[in-house]
Chain A
Amino acid sequence: MSQGSKPLIQNTKCDCGHQNPTGTVLCEACGKPLTEEAEAQPILEMRYDGVARRSQKENPGIIDRVWNFFSSVKVAIYLILLTLVGSSLGTIFPQESTFLNIDPSVYYKEEYGQLGHIYYLLGLSHTYTSWWFVLLLVMIGASLVICSLDRVLPLYKALSRQRIPKHMSFLTRQKVVYQGQVQEDGADWVERIKPIIKKKGYRVRTDGGTLLAEKQRFSRWGPYVLHIGLIIFLLAVLGRNLPGLHMDEHMAFPQDEPVHIKNTSYYLLNDGFKVEFYTEDDMPEEFKGKNKVLPKEFQTQAILYMCEANCDDLDKEPQLVELTRHNIEVNHPLNYKGLKAYQFDYDLTPILRTVSPMLIDSKSGKEYGKITLSINDPQREYQAGEYTLTLTQSFTDFGLGDNGKPVNLSPNPNAPAFLFLIKGPDLPKEGVQYFYFPKQIDKERFNQEAINAQLAGGEALVKLDVLSMDDVDFSESTTYLNIRVDKAMPFIWVGCFIGMIGLIMGFYFTHRRIWLRIDNGTLTLGAHTNKNWFGLRKEISAILKQMNIEVDEKSLENNRGTKHESN
């Protein structure tokens, strides 16, 4: 159509007398095409039944303009395409979040060269948390809400107020059309076909010589139900980032030691850890002989406690009450009222927990008394018979610094060491200093005896020594759990569920309508569906057959369409 012929103000009053809102394509009452564009179509464009969308107002204000922007499906498609391209950019190199301890400003350059550095500088190394990506998601959310509202309300009104008689040009320009002669009276014929159509599951209404049959209208709401599900999903995803709704910690749990879970009053105890490996026989040929270690299963026997008292008091033991027990495995997390613990990793290196060395006279070998030393939590003072041992310094990872002085290399208990001041009978009044390395390997590595001899200014008079293996207590393994709280999860699943229902409604059911009118012995039938035209034609052909009208399925297709290539 030529632009010049478009009138400035459209006359939206139909010949049938119905006053339509601006932007209406097909008369709401009789279906007659109202715009020149629709008039020129060989087959009517039936989307949204030709009703005016909410956004098609005359004189839009600012809010209307924003509304109009987001109400456009074209804009929605561009937003989806941008999100699509954006997400794919994020998969070129691994994201920062896949690494535990890296400095991205160096890492990407070292690992992936100049391109990697550019990737980092563009912010693509954290694509999915960058402002533009989140903004795209928010805009898609806005588009979902507005597009849906803009169409669903007018469509709902149109479909619930359908009139039975339709304009001739509405019927003959449907995609499925039949015209033929009937001998009997129109109203009688319509009454006769009514039960046949009903049998196919249609709701049928008649008005004299006209008929409207409709089925599975709810299928039309499918897309909107899907959009509601997606909106809930998106809100939940965006809302997760609010404080307090989300916790995600990776924690180490040495065996038999309750560990406090940060910011909660929960303690979790690793009451035993099991791991089983695949044997050589279970392996396929390609793995055999390669010393490949493949774990079959690993399990943490976890006990969850609630702290009742002395929780923040470091000097007292916290009072714990058992809440629940669960054997945590991959795919089988512990779940207690939204607090979840997932098996993440494990470490089979034994960790020394307590040692109980004996204080011995170096010369005579006389035993004075035993102390019980906790590696992680040593006391200030110990009593061994008549001797007092005062802890003056402790190390978790002992080492010698550049100046030859002892330093702590890390907070990990790799090489624990303790410096005591020992006082008692036969010792100098100010006491003697004594270095103690609980691990045998460290005793040798740092030469404990030589250090103590030096500290004593000759030979050490007393020494600490473990007499039997019973005096050593190990934690055999450490399990690593991922502790999570995610209060938005239920909304995410609800969103998915609603969306899925919408998809099923929209895609596995089809809205079909058949209009019929008889004018002076001429039957005109038009039909519309939102998908599966093939099935609709088949159904109509079967219905007409029962009325003794033989018609080939394919010939029901409106041929006016084939001359013009769509688009």
Chain B
Amino acid sequence: MNLIDFSGDAFIVAFTLYCVAFIMYALAVMGRRFRKRDPEAHLAKWGKIAFVTATIGLIGHLLYFFTRWAGSGHVPVSNMYEFMSFLSMAIMIAFLVLYFIYKKSLLGLFALPLAILIMAYAAVFPQQVQPLIPSLQSYWLGIHVTLAALGDAFFAVGFIAGLMHLLQTVNFSGTDKGARREQRWLELVMFAIVVLIGFILSVYSFRAGGYQAEFNQTLVDPKTENSTIVKVEYNMPPLIAPYQSETESMQSFLGMKSPLMEAPSWMHGVNAGRKLNTVVWSLVTGLILYGLLRLILRKPLAKFIQPALHRLDPDDLDEISYRAIAIGFPVFTLGGLIFAMIWAEIAWGRFWGWDPKEVWALITWLFYSVYLHLRLSRGWQGKYSSWLSVIGFIVVMFTLVGVNLIIAGLHSYAGTD
């Protein structure tokens, strides 16, 4: 068995252990309500077991990382699969660091699902080891990418603690305008998370079913008006076909034998139609999933989660959120900006080129410096600060995923088709 295969197995083991640990956390929190034994002891015991399981999962994850490194000969952060796997690992490391400072194992109740989601997202991408193009053949690849991801991971833990703070403090019995607005926005965040799960579920279900459809898309060069025909492959049933395309082949799906509609004309890029189709599918699956959850729980998701957090002190959560961001900020500055500049200077001959990825790294940095100024100089703590940590994480995810998906640039080798 070669190292790369072993590494793939370690990945699956880590993923499974994270899932088991998450279930244990859920049992630890919910179990104390059904059982007749001492709830505090129950929580402490199962919280500890869950934490240990998650730590063993992280060891598996590290094993994946280093064996893949040894097997491929380069630090495995060079494509979207490798990067996202690393990010979820970094989130677990950041979670451990914060755990050792504050000893709040319940943080794992939220850190684990985030790591699991990102890991599942990683596995959506092709997993083969790809050879490196010359501009990536540098030890700065490892240093810059891993450190930037680690900074982002601390921001992610800041987001988790901030979200927990919001879930804990939101007032569900309040009927005034402010309370209602908060309830609605928080539920929207929960919905967004469900849509993300919907995306992953739809990718895997259609992959498991082996779904395929092919289109011939006509691309017109605006300058020369020459047209070329490109083959576009779909792995999800085409609710939306590419702009100006003809169906080459299509498996029927629930009696649907032809695409429902064509992508709008301004989405004329090669993969634009497919991406739009994926987004629509994620929303559809997310909506169904959310609807089912609401039917089962009979209350907003945020309201369902709230009691799980009642033992946590909101001030502690607020401080953990701030502390995670305060630890992550210098790491991100060094890895995401300074080392990025040094490498860019060496590889491309300019330390800064306003490439979309660079700009968004700067935006992330500016956003968190606003967060820090508001908190330290203007006393924004508690709710305001927590909302900022949630928005900050959205900015981080846009920088990591959205930029590749929507705006291409020099960093496009980390492609996300």
Residue of A nearest to B354 (CB): A128
Q: How far is the CA of A285 from the CA of B334 in the complex (A)?
A: 36
Residue of B nearest to A89 (CB): B359
B311 within 8 A of A: no
B384 within 8 A of A: yes
Which of A294, A499, A507 lies in contact with B326, CB distance below 8 A? A507
CB distance from B381 to the nearest CB of A (A): 5
B327 within 8 A of A: yes
Q: How large is the interface on A (under 10, 10 to 19, 20 to 34, 35 or more residues)?
A: 35 or more
Given contacts A87-B359, A285-B128, A500-B338, contact A489 B323 (CB under 8 A): no
> Do B370 and A80 touch across chains, with their CB atoms under 8 A apart?
yes
Binds B, one of A2-10, A55-63, A382-390, A527-535: A527-535
Q: How far is the CA of A534 from the CA of B103 in the complex (A)?
A: 11
Q: How far is the CA of A450 from the CA of B278 in the complex (A)?
A: 64
B137 within 8 A of A: yes
Binds A, one of B28-36, B155-163, B208-216, B339-347: B339-347
Binds A, one of B84-92, B253-261, B282-290, B372-380: B372-380
Name the B residues within 8 Å of A567 (CB-CB). Answer: 379-384
A445 within 8 A of B: no
Given contacts A84-B370, A566-B381, contact A286 B128 (CB under 8 A): yes
Name the B residues within 8 Å of A399 (CB-CB). Answer: none
> Do A340 and B315 touch across chains, with their CB atoms under 8 A apart?
no
Q: Which A498-519 residues have C-beta < 8 A from chain B?
A: 499-500, 503-504, 507-508
A47 within 8 A of B: yes
> Do A507 and B329 touch across chains, with their CB atoms under 8 A apart?
yes
Binds A, one of B37-45, B52-60, B361-369: B361-369
Which of A110, A115, A223 lies in contact with B223, CB distance below 8 A? A110
Residue of A nearest to B325 (CB): A507
Name the A residues within 8 Å of B326 (CB-CB). Answer: 507, 531
Q: Which B113-137 residues have C-beta < 8 A from chain A?
A: 126, 128-131, 133-135, 137
Residue of A nearest to B133 (CB): A294
Q: How far is the CA of A298 from the CA of B133 in the complex (A)?
A: 10
Residue of B nearest to A97 (CB): B354
Q: How far is the CA of A113 from the CA of B315 in the complex (A)?
A: 51
Most chain-B CB neighbours within 10 Å: which of A223, A295, A296, A331?
A331
> Do A340 and B319 touch across chains, with their CB atoms under 8 A apart?
no
> Do B349 and A340 touch across chains, with their CB atoms under 8 A apart?
yes
B69 within 8 A of A: no
Q: How far is the CA of A493 from the CA of B363 in the complex (A)?
A: 20
Q: How far is the CA of A482 from the CA of B349 in the complex (A)?
A: 7
B138 within 8 A of A: yes
Given contacts A77-B370, A557-B315, A567-B382, contact A110 B222 (CB under 8 A): yes
Q: How far is the CA of A84 from the CA of B359 in the complex (A)?
A: 9
Q: How far is the CA of A329 from the CA of B133 in the complex (A)?
A: 12
Name the B residues within 8 Å of A286 (CB-CB). Answer: 126, 128
Q: How far is the CA of A492 from the CA of B345 in the complex (A)?
A: 11
Q: How far is the CA of A14 from the CA of B316 in the complex (A)?
A: 36
> Do B378 and A73 touch across chains, with their CB atoms under 8 A apart?
yes
A45 within 8 A of B: yes
CB distance from B12 to the nearest CB of A (A): 20
CB distance from B48 to the nearest CB of A (A): 20
CB distance from B341 to the nearest CB of A (A): 7
Which of A47, A80, A95, A331 lies in contact with B346, CB distance below 8 A? A331
Given contacts A90-B354, A91-B356, A534-B319, contact A80 B369 (CB under 8 A): yes
**Residues 128-168 of chain B: 1 if any A CB is under 8 Å from the residue's CB, otherwise 0?**
11110111011010000000000000000000000000000
Q: Which B296-331 residues have C-beta < 8 A from chain A?
A: 313, 315-316, 319, 322-323, 326-327, 329-330
Name the A residues within 8 Å of B134 (CB-CB). Answer: 295-298, 329-331, 343
Which of A87, A285, A344, A508 lies in contact with B363, CB distance below 8 A? A87
> Do A484 and B349 touch across chains, with their CB atoms under 8 A apart?
yes
A496 within 8 A of B: yes
Could you show 17 A-B contacts with beta carbons less than 8 Å apart? A77-B373, A91-B360, A97-B354, A127-B354, A284-B129, A297-B134, A329-B134, A330-B135, A333-B346, A343-B134, A344-B349, A489-B351, A500-B333, A565-B382, A566-B379, A567-B381, A567-B383
Given A80-B370, A342-B347, A534-B316, list of 14 further CB < 8 A pairs? A47-B379, A73-B377, A81-B370, A84-B366, A113-B266, A278-B131, A284-B128, A287-B130, A294-B133, A297-B137, A344-B349, A489-B345, A489-B351, A567-B379
